Amino acid sequence: MKEIKLFAPATIANVSCGFDVLGLCLDTVGDEMIIRKTTKKGVRISKIIGQDLPIETEKNVAGVAVLALLKQLNSDAGFEIEIYKNIKPGSGIGSSAASSAGAVFGVNKLLGEPFTLQELIPFAMEGEKLASGTAHADNVAPALLGGFTLVRSYNPLDVIKMNSPKELFATVIHPQIEIKTADARSVLKKKVTLKETVIQLGNLGGLIAGLYTNDYDLIGRSLHDEIVEPSRSILIPEFDAIIKAAKDAGALGGGISGSGPSIFALSKGKEIADKVALTMAKAYKNLQIDFEIHVSKINTKGIKIL
């Protein structure tokens, strides 16, 4: 194999109560990438369509991620990468993760798969480190593994792919404002109380239990962020009103997607998820804020070869 074309999906990180540890993979929105072997060693980003992003290898998340992979292999192989960006940077649905994860996935395939999908996560995290200053895995893990993922530990890295209930759908609305991940992190509290921690742990455990038992009501009750959302939500216009409208339309619950400004809601069944989309859209139309909206089942496969 000399060339590969792939779909690198968008993701929702944190999933309310799982800051930096929970993520899920979407199915209907993502980037496309073409990666090919070259005779010239090293990594070259030859084309980026859709967004204005650095084409220099060391300044591009896909380039940095692949360089980390090749360094681990002590390889002098050469690759050329084309990126067709459908996920806007700063959207909160894993733009940098899609590029990072997609790049290492494709290169790994072209090299004969020396690494498992799990083993690719640290390389993709290097791209996240370039983008946000923090090597977090809650977007790249679900992009690579599919479904819901839990980062049990970062040191050593221990990522678990979890059950994804078949009728669970995500609705994501992306208001056309930009919130950089670094800025969203800057508003977070440096310390949390024991009471807040207990509430958060209860919700995290409840959400995981709900996923494994297909208990949609429990999933809904657990979609509450006690620690991060109160600080970040002030950056997103009418956040509380959007969440209330989504629940009134039948959503199980929702929250901030990643570091925002996208807002997600989870629903049982596509019919309700579509209804939630209409409700969310109406709210932002009334505010005269441009937006994009996506309805997606949970993508249990992750990155797909096209």
Residues in CB range of 74: below 8 A, 6 or more apart: none
Q: How many residues does the chain have?
A: 306
pLDDT tens string 89-143: 888 999 999 999 999 999 999 999 999 999 999 999 999 999 888 899 999 999 9
> 93 — phi, psi (to 5°)?
-120, 35
Amino acid 6: pLDDT:
98
Cα distance between residue 29 and residue 293, in whole Å = 10
Q: What is the 3-state secondary structure (H, E, C) of the chain?
A: CCEEEEEEEEEEECCCCCCCCEEEEEEEEEEEEEEEEECCCEEEEEEEECCCCCCCHHHCHHHHHHHHHHHHHCCCCEEEEEEECCCCCCCCCCHHHHHHHHHHHHHHHHCCCCCCHHHHHHHHHHHHHHHHCCCCCCCHHHHHHCCEEEEEEECCEEEEEECCCCCEEEEEEEECCCCCHHHHHHCCCCCCCHHHHHHHHHHHHHHHHHHHHCCHHHHHHHCCCCCCHHHHHHHCCCHHHHHHHHHHCCCCEEEECCCCCCEEEEEECHHHHHHHHHHHHHHHHHHCCCEEEEEEEECCCCCEEC
Q: Rounded distance, CA 100 to CA 89, Å?
A: 13
- Which pLDDT does position 181 carry in this prediction? 64
**Of 154, 164, 166, 72, whose CA–CA distance to 120 is shortest?**
72
Q: Would residue 257 be called left, alpha or beta, if left means φ above 0 and alpha means ψ between -120 and 50 degrees? A: beta
> Do 235 and 184 meet the contact criterion of CB atoms below 8 Å apart?
yes
Residues annotated as catalytic (active site), given as ranges: 128, 181
State the chain's maximal CA–CA distance in angstroms: 58
- Are 93 and 258 spatial neighbours (Cβ–Cβ below 8 Å)? yes
Answer yes or no: CATH 3.30.110.40 is held by domain 3-162.
no
Q: Mean pLDDT over all residues of the chain?
A: 94
Region for 19 from its dihedrals, namely left if φ exceeds 0, alpha if ψ lies in -120 to 50, beta otherwise: beta
The residues spanned by each domain of the chain are: 3-162, 168-297
Q: Which residue has the tokens 């969203």?
A: 184
pLDDT of 230-264, one tens digit each? Answer: 988 988 988 999 999 999 999 999 999 998 899 99
pLDDT < 70 stretches in the chain? 180-182
With contact defined as beta carbons under 8 Å apart, do 140 and 69 qualify?
no
Given this model, what pLDDT does residue 212 score? 98
Query: How far, in Å, CA of 59 to CA of 64, rounded?
Result: 7
The CATH number corresponding to 168-297 among 3.40.50.2300, 1.20.1090.10, 3.40.980.10, 3.30.70.890 equals 3.30.70.890
| Contact (Cβ atoms closer than 8 angstroms) between residue 306 and residue 105 | no
Both structure tokens of 48 = 């980026």
User: In sequence order, what are the residues at sequence separation of 6 or more whose Cβ sits closer than 8 angstroms to the Cβ of residue 274?
Assistant: 171, 295
Q: Which two tokens stand for residue 20?
A: 């930096």
